[in-house]
Amino acid sequence: GQNIDQPTEMTATEGAIVQINCTYQTSGFNGLFWYQQHAGEAPTFLSYNVLDGLEEKGRFSSFLSRSKGYSYLLLKELQMKDSASYLCALMDSNYQLIWGAGTKLIIKP
Amino acid sequence: IAGITQAPTSQILAAGRRMTLRCTQDMRHNAMYWYRQDLGLGLRLIHYSNTAGTTGKGEVPDGYSVSRANTDDFPLTLASAVPSQTSVYFCASSDSNLGADTQYFGPGTRLTVL
């Protein structure tokens, strides 16, 4: 079967760096997505990794290790507007997304 | 219209009533999806459509039906609503589901079944 784990909640300080981890188990893999979801809003796409390594996009970076079933999202220079839930989702062998429950990130001044 | 729209924004419904949630996209995407999102759980796929005229069952299809008469519209129907269907419903679309295409989400419908 498939399983995705990510922390329920994290707290960080404005201006700091935070790393949100995601571990998964799957029999088929076509990549891993990260989405951001502000409270009461729709998820919006942040990043996609299919090969091992780090993908950098401005203040946000995403890392993947397929052999370890592990990904993380790294947020630098945190801003108050980064307070949101961050959703990890793996794309299975049928190109369907399997979603984690999300990590609620709280940014404090 | 830009992107995906959903209607209604929210609805309170009596148990046993029939309800159709509407979803329209103007990106000419082939694939469309319906998810429900419940507190503490990840998004769960209800039904999907790879292209107009075809539909498929997701992880939690029971109690729901869909149709895909054209590319733009993908309505979700609850034939006889039950309280366990209280949730936030998101419609999404992607260029195709034959590759790792990004899914884009509508604003959601918050449904309460009493």
- Residues A3-24: pLDDT tens digits? 899 999 999 999 999 999 999 9
pLDDT by residue (tens digit) across B73-103?
A: 999 999 999 999 999 999 999 997 667 789 9
| Inter-chain residue contact A87 with B43, CB threshold 8 Å | yes
| Inter-chain residue contact B97 with A96, CB threshold 8 Å | yes
**More confident call, A85 vs A1:** A85
Give the three-class secondary structure for B83.
Answer: helix
Give CA–CA dist B92/A67, Å, rounded: 30
Query: Per-residue confidence at B110, pLDDT binned at 50, 70, 90?
Result: very high
HSE value, Cβ hemisphere, 13 Å, CA-based, for B88: 18
Give the three-class secondary structure for A101.
Answer: coil
Q: What does the angle CA A26 – CA B41 – CA B4 come to, to the nearest 5 degrees? A: 95
| Inter-chain residue contact B107 with A30, CB threshold 8 Å | no
B80: its two tokens: 């006889």
The residues near A43 (Cβ < 8 Å, ≥ 6 apart) are A35, A36, A37, A87, B43, B90, B105
SS3 content of chain B, % helix, strand, coil (to 5): 5, 45, 50
Distance from CA of A34 to the nearest CA of B (A): 10
| Inter-chain residue contact A96 with B48, CB threshold 8 Å | yes
List beta partners, residue B49. Answer: B32
Distance from CA of A33 to the nearest CA of B (A): 8
pLDDT by residue (tens digit) across B24-63?
A: 999 999 999 999 999 988 899 999 999 999 999 999 999 9
The whole-number pLDDT of residue B34 equals: 98
User: DSSP readout, A26-64?
Assistant: -S--S-EEEEEE-TTS--EEEEEE-SSEEEEETTEEEEE
The whole-number pLDDT of residue B72 equals: 97
Residues from A contacting B (CB-CB < 8 Å) are 4, 30-31, 33, 41-45, 48, 50, 87, 89, 91, 95-102
The chain A residue lying nearest B44, using CA atoms, is A99
CA dihedral B20, B26, B29, B34 (to 10 degrees): -20
Point out the residue among A33, A50, A102 whose CB comes nearest to the CB of B42: A102
The whole-number pLDDT of residue B54 equals: 95
| Inter-chain residue contact A48 with B40, CB threshold 8 Å | no
The whole-number pLDDT of residue A38 equals: 97
Point out the residue among B42, B45, B90 whose CB comes nearest to the CB of A96: B45
Residues from B contacting A (CB-CB < 8 Å) are 40-45, 48, 58, 90, 97-100, 102-108
The whole-number pLDDT of residue B62 equals: 97
Query: Per-residue confidence at A77, pLDDT binned at 50, 70, 90?
Result: very high
Closest CA to B20 of B65, B83, B82: B65
Whether A31 has a pLDDT exceeding 90, the answer reads yes
The whole-number pLDDT of residue B99 equals: 72
